[in-house]
Structure 1
């Protein structure tokens, strides 16, 4: 695969930003009246997290991230994060919450890479898993499929994602484990 165009890098930045903090982003506007166990699970992720992984595409790039999770309003958890990738810094902010009315965890986010989104999470074992599959267009109108999974456990957060151009199959993929 040849060197990637700048628009592909922009799409990658949005994908990394979405995947990297999908779990820690702002919940939908519905009130979050969660059961005590759901609130306790969310609060168990509060703290400082660091991640380091590899992005594989036309080249291998190191991804380095910091993430701070803190108590928010109405039993939510707020976050603020930054990732450095190929000399570019991505900022991500938001909140996660358990939405009792829909019996699920929800996360929505904003980034400096012009991406906003909402994802649904499920309790798996003693942790949470958020899955995403989106299809977007880049700045040139080319279709891209973005998939991401974020798995939160007591002492680790694992983020994996991929971005694939539908037309030609060019892709990027990354895995970034976070620890406290």
Structure 2
């Protein structure tokens, strides 16, 4: 496999790893998140800040396409930095790479965004979502650890279940 092929495969594999998230354990009814529909205006605002045309190795992240979204309140014990809700966006990532066939239809994957009490985006949640958007997280030094912890939590995985195309 050429270096270009490996680079493209790594990019696609990273997005598929994101989309492989499912519920980590069978959720009880009381533990299931509230899957509220995503506000279309907020989705449009977030998607307008999607980074396009940036390069990873030989692969160019060409553009994103919104597929489906949902929101849920962050459990009170986990709320910090003015964060009240998390929105999960199921997106399709399109790439340009000579090693990828022309019939590639894009890779599906989730992106989580933290919302404040007014429903405005604070920042993408966690290191896996941040590079895809021009939304800067709060400058507080504790933000990154908190956001990564929330991104890796059962709450985030359960919220992904609201948009997971394999379960809906």
TM-score bracket, shorter-length normalisation: 0.3 to 0.5
TM (norm. structure 1) is: 0.36
Comparing both structures, which one devotes a greater share of its residues to helix? Answer: 2
Comparing both structures, which one devotes a greater share of its residues to strand? Answer: 1
TM (norm. structure 2) is: 0.38
